[in-house]
């Protein structure tokens, strides 16, 4: 009668069973840092006099927040990471031009397996639940402890079950599904909780879509999002990582704190309005809001599936004169695939700017930073005041389909009415 998260944490802590609320210490299968959190971890690691990391093959270091370095300060952070990776002989270090956004890399390059316990010094580490792992974000100091010991304490979370059945209509996507969940649960509705997604819609969903919904678990406070591994997962992992895997599945009579049931057939394109992720409305209610910028990319929506959908809509169309469209593939591999499929050409012909993989635009770091009074529709995960630039700018969150159609129209537009004119 255990759920998937309890099973994974039992195994990682060497216990027969664990209960929600129980504090356990778990072995960490893989630990990830980026340059803005990793430089602190490295500083602390040295400060306490640690000499060697617990396992140089189980640490993944990624430069992704400011790629390539946009300032001397950013370059210094890169340098700290690079030197540490060399000194400690870290096997998986992704320098500029070699990787991309960490959360994409972790799955794409096979650093995460089903059943693993993974920590990352970035809140969107919850993305890896997409392949049936327990993964969660931690801070830099705890990461220093993980670098030293390979272990960390966790409170076993209560779990909310989200069961989704039915089929999405054209131009309705996993992003819209998560925005619906955010509307129902609210921004703290899953605080300290795990979210397990299941049902026929999830079974039919690509790994990319599962990554989108697990990625946003943190936006409702979630400790982890998770989907049990299935044939689709194993097919995705083939050639990326070798088994055997620990495939955990919730028991039929597993206990949940709360259960939500949703029908994908009923779902409409949604948009999260400024300045909170749970301020969700049907796109039709905010249609007409004029847009200065549209951004398609990020760890939430920067994968091939997202870019193909974008290209399907942009093909033969132009970005509206009043609007700038910025497209950023989530990784070098995604960029290359998009190039080979001819998607990049479609983007450029439409008038979009295509940039190299980086987190920059999403958090107002660099690339596409917003001026005061500007409005952006973005496929990212946060629309807090000032998130993408000026504290006097506004950010709406939506799917790549809504973003692409809105870029053509220059204002927020419901993609389900798009005919490809």
Partner 1 sequence: MKILGKVVKYGDDINTDYIIPGKYMVLTDPKELAKHAMEGIDPSFIGKSKDAIIVAGKNFGCGSSREQAPISLKYSGTKAVVAKSFARIFYRNAINIGLPVLECEDLWDMVKDGDQLMLDLESGKIKNLTSNKSAQAQPLPEFILELIEIGGLLNKLKRIKG
Residues that bind partner 1 (CB under 8 A): 36-37, 39-40, 43-44, 47-50, 65-66, 71, 73-74, 76-77, 120-123, 125, 137-142, 144-145, 148, 187-188, 191-192, 218, 221, 223, 276, 363-365, 382, 384-387, 391
Q: Which of 104, 106, 142, 100 is nearest to 121 (CA)?
A: 142
5 vs 237, which CB is nearer to partner 1?
A: 5
How is residue 386 written in tokens?
């000032």
- Burial class from Cβ neighbours inside 10 Å (0-12, 13-18, 19+) for residue 356 reads middle
Task: For the CB of residue 223, give the shortest distance to partner 1 in the complex, in Å.
Answer: 6
- Give the 3-state secondary structure of residue 299: helix
Task: For the CB of residue 128, give the shortest distance to partner 1 in the complex, in Å.
Answer: 14
Give, to the nearest 10 degrees, the angle between helix 174-185 and helix 207-215. Answer: 20
Task: For the CB of residue 206, give the shortest distance to partner 1 in the complex, in Å.
Answer: 27
Contacts (Cβ under 8 Å, ≥6 apart) of 46:
none
77 vs 262, which CB is nearer to partner 1?
A: 77
125 vs 300, which CB is nearer to partner 1?
A: 125
Task: For the CB of residue 344, give the shortest distance to partner 1 in the complex, in Å.
Answer: 27
145 vs 214, which CB is nearer to partner 1?
A: 145
Report the DSSP beta bridge partners of residue 60. 32, 92
Taking the CA atoms of residue 88, residue 92, residue 96 and residue 102 in that order, the dihedral angle to the nearest 10 degrees is -120
First to last CA, the chain: 53
Q: Which of 124, 133, 114, 158 is nearest to 22 (CA)?
A: 158
Other C-beta atoms closer than 10 Å to the C-beta of 295 total: 27
Task: For the CB of residue 183, give the shortest distance to partner 1 in the complex, in Å.
Answer: 15
Task: For the CB of residue 412, give the shortest distance to partner 1 in the complex, in Å.
Answer: 23
36 vs 343, which CB is nearer to partner 1?
A: 36
333 vs 374, which CB is nearer to partner 1?
A: 374
């Amino acid at each position: 009668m255990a759920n998937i998260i309890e099973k994974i944490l039992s195994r990682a802590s060497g216990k027969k069973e664990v209960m929600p609320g129980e504090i356990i210490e778990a072995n960490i299968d893989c630990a990830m840092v980026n340059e803005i959190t990793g430089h602190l971890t490295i500083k602390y690691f040295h400060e306490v006099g640690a000499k060697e990391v617990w396992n140089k093959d189980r640490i993944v270091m990624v430069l992704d927040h400011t790629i390539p370095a946009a300032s001397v300060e950013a370059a210094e952070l890169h340098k700290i990471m690079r030197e540490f990776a060399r000194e400690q002989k870290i096997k998986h270090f992704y320098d500029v031009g070699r990787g991309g956004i960490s959360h994409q890399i972790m799955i794409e390059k096979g650093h995460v397996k089903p059943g693993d316990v993974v920590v990352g010094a970035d809140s969107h580490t919850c993305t890896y639940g997409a392949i049936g792992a327990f993964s969660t974000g931690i801070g830099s100091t705890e990461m220093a402890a993980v670098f030293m010991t390979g272990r960390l304490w966790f409170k076993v979370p209560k779990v909310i079950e989200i069961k989704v059945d039915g089929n999405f209509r054209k131009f309705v996507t996993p992003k819209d599904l998560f925005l619906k969940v955010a509307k129902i649960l609210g921004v703290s509705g899953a605080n300290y909780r795990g979210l397990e997604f299941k049902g026929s819609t999830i079974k039919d969903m690509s790994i990319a879509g599962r990554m989108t919904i697990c990625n946003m678990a943190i936006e409702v406070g979630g400790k982890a999002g998770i989907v049990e591994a299935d044939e689709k997962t194993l097919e995705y992992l083939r050639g990326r990582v070798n088994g055997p895997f620990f495939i955990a599945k919730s028991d039929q009579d597993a206990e949940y704190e709360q259960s939500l049931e949703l029908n994908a057939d009923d779902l409409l394109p949604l948009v999260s309005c400024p300045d909170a992720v749970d301020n969700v409305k049907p796109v039709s209610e905010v249609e007409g809001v004029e847009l200065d910028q549209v951004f398609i990319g990020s760890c939430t929506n920067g994968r091939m599936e997202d870019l193909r959908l974008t290209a399907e809509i942009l093909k033969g169309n132009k970005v509206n004169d009043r609007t700038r469209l910025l497209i950023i593939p989530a990784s070098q591999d995604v960029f290359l695939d998009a190039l080979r499929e001819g998607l990049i050409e479609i983007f450029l012909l439409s008038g979009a700017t295509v940039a190299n993989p980086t987190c920059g635009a999403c958090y107002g770091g660099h690339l596409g930073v917003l001026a005061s009074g500007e409005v952006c529709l973005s496929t990212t995960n946060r629309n807090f005041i000032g998130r993408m630039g000026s504290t006097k700018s506004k950010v709406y969150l939506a799917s790549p389909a809504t973003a692409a159609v809105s870029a053509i129209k220059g204002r927020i537009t419901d993609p389900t009415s798009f005919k490809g004119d």
